[in-house]
Amino acid sequence: MDPAGKALNEQAPDEFSVRLETSVGPVVIQVTRAWSPHGADRFYNLVRNGFYDEQRFFRVVPGFVVQWGLSGDPKLNMAWRQANILDDPVKQSNTRGRITYAKTNQPNTRTTQLFINLGANANLDGMGFAPFGEVVEGMEVVDQINAEYGQQPSQGQIAGRGNAYLEENFPNLDYIVKAEIID
């Protein structure tokens, strides 16, 4: 995928839903573009183009977050590594069930990594983490995502070796089978 390509830079609808078919069960996320336009647009385009399919939930911290967004294909990770999107102002709080892009403490560093808040994480609001949607079905599924590895998987190794690294070292990770836009 080419991050600069037209197919990956379309404006998302004002509201849309995404169904994650996971190894644990289905999860439906309702996205509201007005909450975080850049985040919603990026999510819309990556889902439409299959980027999140077969991705592992590589960071699960009970009561805090479940995170994913590094491709199982190292070539895709390399292509998207510097494809940052602009920050959006935080208009909604990081409450339980809200979905947000991961970022560093530097401005405009969101790329492809996401997390769902497993708890009340309002402390992230002041750090610039702007939710763009929320789980409307299947939060009990999100709560069942395997947390046995916590934060052990190395993001550098995932980026460089993809799912091969994860399957070899963390075989019990839950994952997204398919992500798709639904009516």
Domain ranges (residues) in the chain = 15-182
pLDDT of residue 121: 98
The DSSP code for 85 is: B
- pLDDT > 90? residue 1: no
Residues belonging to the chain: 183
Is the pTM value of this prediction over 0.75?
A: yes
Q: Tell me the backbone φ, ψ of residue 117, rounded to 5 degrees.
A: -70, 125
What is the rounded distance in angstroms from the CA atom of residue 57 to the CA atom of residue 163?
11
Residues 6+ apart with CB under 8 A from 144: 24, 25, 174
Section 31-55 average pLDDT: 97
Decide if domain 15-182 falls under CATH 2.40.100.10.
yes
pLDDT per residue as tens digits for the range 153-176: 999 999 999 999 999 999 999 999
CB count in 10 Å sphere of residue 2: 11
Beta-carbon contacts of residue 96 (< 8 Å; ≥ 6 apart):
117, 118, 119, 120, 139
User: How confident is residue 38, by pLDDT bands cut at 50, 70 and 90?
Assistant: very high
Residue 183 has pLDDT above 80, yes or no: no
Q: What pLDDT, on a 0 to 100 scale, did the predictor assign at position 82?
A: 93
